[in-house]
Amino acid sequence: MPQGAVAATPGLQSFIKSLKSTPVEPSIEHLISLLKRRQIRSSRPCAIATAALLLRVVGEVRGRDAGKLLRRIREVGKRLTAAQPREVVVGNIVRRVLGLVREVTEDNADTDTNANSEMSHSFHAQHDSLHRPQLSSSISTFSPLKNAVTEPLDTNLHQSDISESAEPAKRPSLQTSHTSYAQSTPMIGSLFGLFSHPDTPSTASTPTGFQSPAGKDSSITALNLDRLADLSTSKVDLKAEVLDGIRELQDELEQSDDLIAANALDHIHSNEIILTHTASTTVQKFLLAAARKRKFTVVHAEAYPNDHTATHATVLTGKKRYDENDDAEDQWKPLTAAGITVVLIPDSHVFAIMSRVNKVILATHTVLANGGLVAAAGAHMIAKAAKVHQTPVVVVSGVYKLSPVYPFDVDELIEYGDAGNIVPYEDGDFVDKVDVDNPLYDYVPADLVDLYITNLGGHAPSYLYRIVADHYRAEDITL
Amino acid sequence: MPPKAKKGPSDKAKGGEDEREDPLQAVILADPFETRFSPLTLERPRCLLPLANTPLIEYTFEFLANAGVEEVFVYCGAHREQVEEYIKASKWSAVSSPFSKLELIRSTSHSIGDAMRDLDARGLLVGDFLMVYGDVVSNLPLESALAMHRARRAKDKNAIMTMVLREAGTHHRTKAQGISPIFVIDPTKDRCLHFEQMPNKEQTHYLSIDPELLSDNQELEIRQDLIDCGIDICTPDVLALWSDNFDFQAPRKGFLHSVLKDYELNGKTIHTHIVTDHYAARVRNLHAYNSVSKDILSRWAYPLCPDSNLLQGQSYRLQKGNIYKEEGVVLARDCVIRPKTVIGRGTSIGEGSIISNSIIGRNCYIGRDVKIEGAYIWDYATIGDGCDVKQAIIADEAAIGNKCTVEPGAVISYGVKIGQGMTIRGDRRITRAKRRKEDGEDIITGEPNIAIVGEKGDGFEYQDPESEDEDEVVDGLVPGGPLYTMANLSLSVESISTLNSDIEDDEDDYHPQRSAAGSFVSIGSTDSHASEHAANFDHDAAASIYDSLVEGHESANVQLELTSLRMSTNASEHQVRRAVVVAFVKRIAQLMKAGTSVRDAVAQVFGQHKELLDRTMFDKDLSGKVDQVDFMLLLQADLARKENGDIILLSAATKLVEMDVIEEEGMQQWWADVKSCEAEEMKRVREKTQQLIDFLEQSSEEESSEEEDEDEDEEDDSE
């Protein structure tokens, strides 16, 4: 607003700002009402807000009790998802954080095991059975040394916590604790590391065996013995680790677009005709990354009536007009400035032009565990048209949009929006006599998608369940 | 919430110092001081009536929260305690509320005008503020409207108000049906130049516009296609204007109309912000209730839909065809739920029932083979087997027996019971409550009318005290033809009257005179709307004089007050006299009731206030005693309907002559006046005064030079 609108409509920005000054409970309510009022909408803002809120929630939780922490996060998560069940991303973030907590506690249990192992090795086996397979992808900054140094433990406490909060803890483990240490060592940096080395086995599947357990054990125990006396630091650690994890998650949210864009050159080739849809930031960055090296043509379907203004703005300026992230660094140029020909077409022309299109790139609202996706209305039609013409459909999406939810009832996932976008409300006769449905999203079944590109790399739709298993704990899937 | 002021310093400099850092404030008029929802509003305030199973005021709060408002003042009228209780328990007064301040204002206002003046006196509002009703449903973001308002303000201090209006074509269900508001707008400046409310009747399709508007403006838009959603962005000047004008009651018909007319006088401009997208409407009557409900179900007001679950504890889910069901709904296997239906938690619907286009609250029981179409059934209602309900409102805890028919348009209020096999006609409004529930007290229930509610029924037909209102409300739910009368307009003024009804009755008798006086004044002064103000002046002045009489104030003080009141409303001399007469007679009647004799009462009331009386008549030196005649006529008319009016008139007339307030010529001219002996009543009341006149005639014949002495004698004789 040129004249300095004092009362900006509340949204993500105002929420993040207020988060610092408001106590936790009101902040939760605040987010809930923003979600209900749709003032924070679409996946990324929701994810950012949720992560920021959980950071506060975890920071506020007192005590060293992991079970309490889990319960608290779960409770908050339940309320948030109930507020807006169709923003699946909120649930995803909550589940990620829950997984984070579990992982930290289990790691603690590990170190503890190590410490105890010197005294009684009979204990070892028992502990291992308590310990679920390590999900090293979520916490990648662990080095065994640091771990050992900073995590002395109260064994009994954690044991009881785990058994009370996580039933499947009794499941036989596929690997020992040592493997997880060994494995996490090369993965300092980001999650991307894991998948950039396809050789690295998924922890859930194959144990890699022992890597010099003896040597490690000895060093750890030596350190641990010193720390055993000082138990008070443990709660600080649990929290600190989780907080670190959440911050990392926030980083992931921030970087995922760039990581996705890094794959662009592998998928977009010179002189191709690419069809896309909606004003997705992820897609724009993806295309821009490719545009640096290659020349191609983009056909942009305008996503009328819910997203067309943003789409037009994106085509013209490279940026949604009312984009939340107003930082200077986000000032990117439109594709046309990079020398790309962009053709804006109405959605109805998609089928006609599909025969000439080499590749369809779709943005998404949510990716579901079965490989299907929920995307802006019109996506289904595009995907179907692509199928008819055997045009490959590529979906770009951050891992945070990947949900463990299985679409048993597709209708539940589709939100119906303002009918006024389709028919002007002024048309009194129409309003009175005709019912207008305006679905905001489409469900695109998995068989219409050829490839997913996430910040971890490219995957076939049928492979998504593996990523789901890596990121979410089975016990967290129902919040 | 922290201040979200994100404007740069340069903007502030431009916008002027006084505009900075003001949090956006809003005033909710929770009670519009109307009776359009009667009898439903007898027991519950309008803003808590459920619209799609969510209290109306929730939508208003949502709208304000959406607009980024920080401080909210709620003005309660009737049922203040219920509103207070509700708001206290709601999320809006919790810590997490988007409002940094939510204050309930208690006042004894009886009209919006009073509320605004009260608000001005309190000085709560520091900067620009939003004024909305407690029944606004809107998803409009106000950013652009606010920005434009501020821009105009920065340019011109006199742009005091911006009205947000929604465009809605020629025919629209959500538009006001009875009366169309007509806005004359200068599209180049978005300025509203003229406003009128036009009844939708065939014969009155005229709009009178000041010819100057036509010559002064290059372009004019006369628009009737706008939904006035009652969202105004105001500056504090607006409140000051309300205060300056004692008689403004209604914000549109009174305030807006007058301020626009008086542009030359006060130089204030009012602007419009016409939006063509988003939803904005007011639930102003039952008809609007019906259409806004439909809009919400059809998602025109998205995200204000049932499945947004605005209220804590709601769990509505959307199913195909705009069916919203909460968890815990019990449906029989072969009942049919048709599209556009809302069903609340705990409601059970029996076998073979068909529900379409309806909103059903929580914990309702609906029997077998019931047909419900377009009805609004609130919580805990029971509908027996085999009923047929169409386009009716059935309020909380009402029970309808088996095999009843409720025809379109019926309103069945709280707790009413209808016996078996009854047919409720569409124009019936059935209630149990006799009158408005005052704070704290229980509802007074009337005798059931068996003819209407049937055996074992409970409830009777509601009679609106303002009978003109009736056809509007009946028209309410069922979209019928435009049955409205102009009377609905004046309703808001009349229904708020706290004063003795004498004045209103009187008004009718003397109407021709009054309006003549009014138009006379409008020629004499720049003020052209004096006649409109008249009724209000009458109320205020008569009340204030009466109070002074009771409390025994000095004549001079009464005089002062009266003069100031007269000045402020530009009332005519005639009105002043009327007010004085009304108040005096009322006081006399009261004294007599208390046991004082007629003579003493008259002496007490008139005797003390010679000065005041003198100041109401200015024709002592003229031969035609117009003012005195007028005064006497008023007195006569007022007494004509009083008990013992004739006696009072005699002694009052005597006293007046004795005090030399009315001269003998005046008295005789009055006696000779046609108007004083026109009607039967008038004749009767003056019979006794004949003796005074006879005496006066005699004495003036005998010795015309010594009137005063004669007067005294004559008084003794006559009594």
Question: Which residues are bridge partners to B181 per DSSP?
Answer: B197
Pairing mode, strands B129-133 and B226-234: antiparallel
Enumerate residues 6+ apart whose C-beta is below 8 A from A58: A69, A73, A97, A239, A242, A243, A246
B490 is a domain residue: no
User: What order of strands is seen across the sheet that includes strand B330-331?
Assistant: B330-331, B348-349, B365-366, B382-383, B399-400, B417-418
pLDDT: is A105 or A397 the higher one? Answer: A397
Closest chain B residue to A421 measured between Cα atoms?
B277
Same domain, B325 and B281: no
Q: What is the CA radius of gyration of chain B?
A: 30
Q: How many CA atoms lie within 13 A of A253 on its CB side?
A: 23
Same domain, B574 and B644: yes
- Residue B512: Cβ-neighbour burial (10 angstroms; 0-12, 13-18, 19+): exposed
Same domain, A167 and A313: no
Per-residue tokens: A461: 């739709």
Query: How does DSSP assign B233-277, residue by residue?
Result: EE-HHHHHHHHH-TT--SIIIIIIHHHHHTHHHH--EEEEEEESS
Give the pLDDT confidence score for residue A226 in this predicted structure: 46
Q: Quote the CA–CA distance of B212 and B407 in Å, as a whole number.
A: 51
B7 is a domain residue: no
Same domain, B50 and B185: yes
Do A429 and B171 lie within an 8 Å CB cutoff?
yes
B480 is a domain residue: no
Give the pLDDT confidence score for residue B718 in this predicted structure: 44
A7 is a domain residue: no
Range of the domain at A280: 262-476
Question: Residue A52: what residue type?
Answer: A
Q: Quote the CA–CA distance of B411 and B591 in Å, as a whole number.
A: 45
Same domain, A203 and A278: no
Given A27, A36, A427, which is nearest B308 (Cβ)?
A36
pLDDT at B1 over 70: no
- CATH number for the domain spanning A275: value is 3.40.50.10470
- Is B80 within 8 Å of B88 (Cβ atoms)? no
Mean pLDDT to the nearest integer, B178-188 = 85
Q: In which band, very low, low, confident or very high, does the pLDDT at B607 lie, cut at 50, 70 and 90?
A: confident
pLDDT: is A113 or B291 the higher one? Answer: B291
- Is A356 within 8 Å of A273 (Cβ atoms)? yes
Same domain, B277 and B319: no
Closest CA to A208 of A121, A136, A101: A136
B671 is a domain residue: yes
pLDDT at B499 over 70: no
Closest chain B residue to A4 measured between Cα atoms?
B7
Mean pLDDT, chain B, rounded, equals 77
Closest CA to B130 of B192, B78, B49, B74: B74
Per-residue tokens: B646: 């004739």
Q: Quote the CA–CA distance of A430 and A228 in Å, as a whole number.
A: 75
Q: Quote the CA–CA distance of A391 and A477 in Å, as a whole number.
A: 34
Q: How far is A327 from chain B (nearest CA, A)?
A: 14
How many other CB atoms are there within 10 angstroms of residue A295's CB atom? Answer: 13
Same domain, B554 and B621: yes
Mean pLDDT, chain A, rounded, equals 75
Give the pLDDT confidence score for residue A445 in this predicted structure: 94
**Across A170-174, A475-479, B440-444, which has the greatest mean pLDDT?**
A475-479
Q: Quote the CA–CA distance of B565 and B540 in Å, as a whole number.
A: 8
pLDDT at A212 over 90: no
Tell me, yes or no, if B93 comes closer than 8 A to chain A by beta carbon. no
Q: How many CA atoms lie within 13 A of A118 on its CB side?
A: 16
Stretch among B11-15, B237-241, B338-342, B356-360 having the lowest mean pLDDT = B11-15
Given B24, B171, B321, which is nearest A7 (Cβ)?
B24
Give the pLDDT confidence score for residue B427 in this predicted structure: 83
**Chain A partners of B339 at a C-beta cutoff of 8 Å?**
435
Per-residue tokens: B470: 């009736």
Mean pLDDT to the nearest integer, B218-245 = 87
pLDDT at A221 over 60: no
Question: What is the percent of chain B with per-residue pLDDT over 90, rounded to a whole number?
Answer: 17
Question: Which residues are bridge partners to B355 per DSSP?
Answer: B337, B372
Residue with tokens 């052209």: B528
**Chain A partners of B66 at a C-beta cutoff of 8 Å?**
9-10, 37, 39
> Is this complex's ipTM strictly greater than 0.85?
no
**Across B73-87, B189-203, B434-448, B701-715, which has the greatest mean pLDDT?**
B73-87
How many other CB atoms are there within 10 angstroms of residue B501's CB atom? Answer: 9
| Domain final position from A238, A255, A272 | A255
A55-61: list long-range contacts, CB under 8 Å, 24+ apart.
Answer: A55/A243, A55/A246, A55/A247, A55/A250, A56/A19, A56/A24, A56/A27, A57/A24, A57/A28, A58/A97, A58/A239, A58/A242, A58/A243, A58/A246, A59/A239, A59/A243, A60/A24, A61/A239
Per-residue tokens: B243: 């205060």
A340 is a domain residue: yes
Chain A / chain B CB contacts < 8 angstroms: 162
Query: How does DSSP assign A255-321, residue by residue?
Result: HHHHHHHTTHHHH--TT-EEEEES--HHHHHHHHHHHTT---EEEEE--TTTTHHHHHHHHHHSS-T
Enumerate residues 6+ apart whose C-beta is below 8 A from A331: A319
Do A428 and B172 lie within an 8 Å CB cutoff?
yes
Residue with tokens 């709280």: B414
Mean pLDDT to the nearest integer, B222-226 = 87
pLDDT at A309 over 90: no
Closest chain A residue to B175 measured between Cα atoms?
A428
Q: Between vectors from CA B143 to CA B140 and to CA B145, what angle results, nearest 5°?
A: 80
B436 is a domain residue: yes
Do A425 and B62 lie within an 8 Å CB cutoff?
no
Do B169 and A1 lie within an 8 Å CB cutoff?
no
Same domain, A159 and A302: no
Count of domains in chain B? 3
Of the residues B172, B229, B322, the best mutation for testing chain A's interface (the one with the most A CB atoms within 10 Å of its CB) is B172
Question: Residue A197: what residue type?
Answer: H
Same domain, B392 and B527: no
Same domain, A270 and A199: no
Tell me, yes or no, if A409 comes closer than 8 A to chain B by beta carbon. no
pLDDT (tens digit per residue) in B295-323:
999 889 888 889 888 888 888 988 888 89
| Domain final position from B286, B305, B325 | B286
A6 is a domain residue: no
Query: Biggest alpha carbon distance in chain B?
Result: 103
Do B278 and A23 lie within an 8 Å CB cutoff?
no
Tell me, yes or no, if B207 comes closer than 8 A to chain A by beta carbon. no
Same domain, A289 and A398: yes
Closest chain B residue to A425 measured between Cα atoms?
B168
pLDDT at B48 over 70: yes
Give the pLDDT confidence score for residue B463 in this predicted structure: 75
pLDDT (tens digit per residue) in B615-643:
777 776 777 777 788 888 888 887 777 77
Same domain, A275 and A353: yes
Q: In which band, very low, low, confident or very high, does the pLDDT at B335 lie, cut at 50, 70 and 90?
A: very high
| Domain final position from A255, A272, A298 | A255
Q: In which band, very low, low, confident or very high, does the pLDDT at A173 lie, cut at 50, 70 and 90?
A: very low
Same domain, A59 and A158: yes
3 state SS of B162: strand
- With the CA atoms of B579, B580, B583 and B588 taken in that order, what torsion angle do they form, in degrees rounded to the nearest 10? -150
Same domain, A355 and A438: yes
Q: How far is A41 from chain B (nearest CA, A)?
A: 11
* Secondary structure of B1-52 in HEC code, one letter for each residue: CCCCCCCCHHHHHHHCHHHCCCCCEEEEECCCCCCCCCCHHHCCCHHHCEEC
Distance of CA B478 to the CA centre of its chain: 23
pLDDT (tens digit per residue) in B420-470:
888 888 888 888 877 665 545 556 667 777 788 887 888 888 876 654 443
Mean pLDDT to the nearest integer, A60-70 = 84
A57 is a domain residue: yes
Mean pLDDT to the nearest integer, A73-81 = 92
| Domain final position from B407, B435, B461 | B461
pLDDT at B504 over 60: no
Count of domains in chain A? 2
Do A9 and B302 lie within an 8 Å CB cutoff?
no
B78 is a domain residue: yes
Same domain, B233 and B117: yes
pLDDT at A159 over 70: no
3 state SS of B314: coil
Same domain, B41 and B172: yes
B95 is a domain residue: yes
Range of the domain at B704: 499-718
Question: Which residues are bridge partners to B269 per DSSP?
Answer: B159
**Chain A partners of B308 at a C-beta cutoff of 8 Å?**
36-38
pLDDT at B216 over 60: yes
How many other CB atoms are there within 10 angstroms of residue A383's CB atom? Answer: 26
Mean pLDDT to the nearest integer, A97-117 = 76
Stretch among A236-240, A364-368, B302-306 having the lowest mean pLDDT = A236-240
Give the pLDDT confidence score for residue B120 in this predicted structure: 86
- Residue B384: Cβ-neighbour burial (10 angstroms; 0-12, 13-18, 19+): buried
Q: Quote the CA–CA distance of A224 and A116 in Å, as a whole number.
A: 9
Q: How far is B196 from chain A (nearest CA, A)?
A: 22
Task: Please identify among residues 33-62 of chain B the ones whose CB lies closer than 8 Å to any CB of chain A.
Answer: 62
Of the residues A6, A326, A418, A430, the best mutation for testing chain B's interface (the one with the most B CB atoms within 10 Å of its CB) is A6
Q: In which band, very low, low, confident or very high, does the pLDDT at B386 lie, cut at 50, 70 and 90?
A: very high
B299 is a domain residue: no
Given B14, B98, B139, which is nearest A10 (Cβ)?
B98
Q: Which residues of A193-219 are buried (b: 16+ CB within 10 A; e: fewer)?
A: bbbeeeebebbeeeeeeeeebeebbee
Given B7, B66, B96, which is nearest A9 (Cβ)?
B66
Q: In which band, very low, low, confident or very high, does the pLDDT at A236 lie, cut at 50, 70 and 90?
A: low
pLDDT: is A273 or B467 the higher one? Answer: A273
- CATH number for the domain spanning B453: value is 2.160.10.10
Question: What is the percent of chain A with per-residue pLDDT over 90, rounded to a whole number?
Answer: 35
Same domain, B262 and B355: no
- Residue B681: Cβ-neighbour burial (10 angstroms; 0-12, 13-18, 19+): middle
Q: In which band, very low, low, confident or very high, does the pLDDT at B513 lie, cut at 50, 70 and 90?
A: very low
Per-residue tokens: B700: 């003036």
A5 is a domain residue: no
Same domain, B244 and B366: no
Query: Biggest alpha carbon distance in chain A?
Result: 84
Q: In angstroms, what CA-CA distances link B394 with A113, B263, B354?
A: 68, 47, 17
**Chain A partners of B15 at a C-beta cutoff of 8 Å?**
3-4
Q: How far is A126 from chain B (nearest CA, A)?
A: 44
Same domain, A141 and A214: yes
Do A417 and B8 lie within an 8 Å CB cutoff?
no
Residue with tokens 């008086």: B262
Enumerate residues 6+ apart whose C-beta is below 8 A from B44: B79, B82, B414
pLDDT at B14 over 80: no
pLDDT (tens digit per residue) in B344-376:
999 999 999 999 999 999 999 999 999 999 999
Same domain, A437 and A340: yes
Q: Quote the CA–CA distance of B405 and B424 in Å, as a whole number.
A: 6
Closest CA to A479 of A47, A96, A44, A181: A96
Q: Which residues of A8-22 are buried (b: 16+ CB within 10 A; e: fewer)?
A: bbbbbbbbeebbeeb
Same domain, B264 and B365: no
Tell me, yes or no, if B7 comes closer than 8 A to chain A by beta carbon. yes
Distance of CA A207 to the CA centre of its chain: 26
Same domain, A64 and A179: yes
Same domain, B101 and B239: yes
A97 is a domain residue: yes
Same domain, A41 and A97: yes
Q: How many CA atoms lie within 13 A of A213 on its CB side?
A: 13
**Chain B partners of A83 at a C-beta cutoff of 8 Å?**
309
Give the pLDDT confidence score for residue B569 in this predicted structure: 72
Stretch among A127-131, A141-145, B664-668 having the lowest mean pLDDT = A141-145
Q: Quote the CA–CA distance of B219 and B210 in Å, as a whole number.
A: 14
Q: Quote the CA–CA distance of B252 and B197 in Å, as a whole number.
A: 9
| Domain final position from A255, A290, A311 | A255
Q: What are phi and psi of A71, to 5 degrees?
A: -60, -40
Give the pLDDT confidence score for residue A321 in this predicted structure: 53
- Is A78 within 8 Å of A54 (Cβ atoms)? no
